[in-house]
Amino acid sequence: MTEEAEHGSGGVYSVEGKEFNRDSRYITTRIVAAPRPGTDDRPVEAGRYRLIAAYACPWANRAIIVRDLLGLGDVISMGNPGPTHDADSWTFDLDPGGVDPVLGIHKLKDAYLKRFPDYPRGITVPAIVEEATGEVVTNDFAQITEDLFFEWRGFHRADAPDLWPAGLRDEMEQVMWRVYTEVNNGVYRCGFAGSQEAYDDAYDRLFTALDWLEERLGRSRYLMGEAITEADIRLFTTLVRFDPVYHGHFKCNRSKLTELPNLWGYARDLFQTPGFGNNVRFDQIKAHYYVVHRDINPLGIIPKGPDLSGWETPHGRGSSGNKTQ
């Protein structure tokens, strides 16, 4: 028996046999500098595409941050659905008249159906839509941010960070996979567990990984050393939601982020870096989880807390991890 838990944030997911599962099947089309013969690749072209990304969604938030860090704001336009999508689709309820001003649609689903009239899966963000046709191109959140770095290099700002340093990529892939399975997805595995046993296992896996990250970040400023990489972006979007949402709403309550010194300093370090904190909307984050997840929070009441003013306090991070330079 499968019980659908939610769609929209990085894929459809369900409670299947008491254990949370995420449907990770995405549209495989890519936007690349040199489209491959025999594929449905689309060419990189300034002004051709629109990134649709909700600030509420951690998977979409990655794309928003990468687009900003690389300086692609004038190259790829962006539309932002509201945080409380309905059962059918993410909606543009933050825009005048509830319509995306470029695509002219009320629901992101319209862009999916424009290309795939019988699209069978969830309407997810992030998604990239071709402006002229109004058709969705891709919704593969991991591939989107990777391609923004590798395929759109000709449009990066001059001082854009090297998010995929060549000498670190093998190790970085391993780190990112553990972050994805145990932390990014791990909080959902806790929150949507269908049995005590499934929850206990998810909880233990999550905090084993967080303890590993806490130790790792005691040795270096960022996950891969002294410079920000894609790995940091992927971890950040979960950490920034941890105390406002995951600690209580998803029962990830062994420790708050603020009680893990290295992770808390690291998260504040990133938050205070241009491209990160300016792309966080705590009100939208809380509204999304507490209003949409009625199976967990039936009355849709949004808690007032916690106090989030600490994100702007000095982080004390330097070149040697938790020690100030």
Domain ranges, ordered by start, for the chain = 2-155, 170-278
- Kindly name the residue from 188, 246, 266, 289 that is annotated as catalytic: 188
What pLDDT does residue 8 have? 46
Alpha helix segments (H runs only) across the chain: 58-69, 109-115, 141-150, 169-178, 186-191, 196-216, 230-241, 247-249, 261-271, 282-292
* 32 HSE (CA, 13 A, CB side): 11
Residue 177 counted as an annotated binding residue = no
Q: What digits encode the pLDDT tens for the residues 14-69?
A: 455 577 877 888 999 999 999 989 999 999 999 999 999 999 999 999 999 999 99
Contacts of range 216-222, beta carbons closer than 8 Å, 24 or more positions apart: 217/262, 217/263, 217/265, 217/266, 217/321, 217/322, 218/262, 218/321, 218/322, 219/320, 219/321, 220/320, 220/321, 221/266, 221/269, 221/317, 221/318, 221/319, 221/320, 221/321, 222/266
Topology adopted by domain 2-155: Glutaredoxin (3.40.30)
CA–CA distance from 180 to each of 3, 22, 108, 234, 236 (Å)? 23, 12, 25, 8, 12
- Which percentage of the chain shows pLDDT scores above 90? 88
What pLDDT does residue 21 have? 78
What pLDDT does residue 324 have? 42
User: What does DSSP say about strands 19-22 and 13-16: parallel, antiparallel, or unpaired?
Assistant: antiparallel
CA atoms of 54 and 52, how far apart (whole Å): 7
Max CA pair span of the chain? 56
CA atoms of 25 and 22, how far apart (whole Å): 9
* Intervals of the chain under pLDDT 50: 1-12, 14, 323-325
What pLDDT does residue 193 have? 95
What pLDDT does residue 20 have? 81
Give CA 172 to chain center in angstroms: 18
Going by C-alpha positions, the residue among 130, 246, 135 that lies closest to residue 192 is 246
When the candidates are 1.20.1050.10, 1.20.58.410, 3.90.550.10, 1.10.10.60, the CATH number that belongs to 170-278 is 1.20.1050.10
What pLDDT does residue 319 have? 60
> How buried is 243 (Cβ within 10 angstroms: 0-12 exposed, 13-18 middle, 19+ buried)?
buried
* 218 HSE (CA, 13 A, CB side): 8
Going by C-alpha positions, the residue among 153, 172, 286, 188 that lies closest to residue 233 is 172
CA atoms of 145 and 165, how far apart (whole Å): 15
Put simply, whether the predicted model's pTM sits higher than 0.75 gets the answer yes
Provide the β-strand partners of residue 20: 15
Catalytic residue list contains 57: yes
- Kindly name the residue from 49, 55, 57, 112 that is annotated as catalytic: 57
Q: Quick one: tokens of 220?
A: 């270096």
Catalytic residue list contains 188: yes
126: preceding bond cis by omega (within 30 degrees)? yes
CA atoms of 125 and 61, how far apart (whole Å): 9
Phi, psi angles (nearest 5°) of residue 86: -85, -175
What pLDDT does residue 16 have? 55
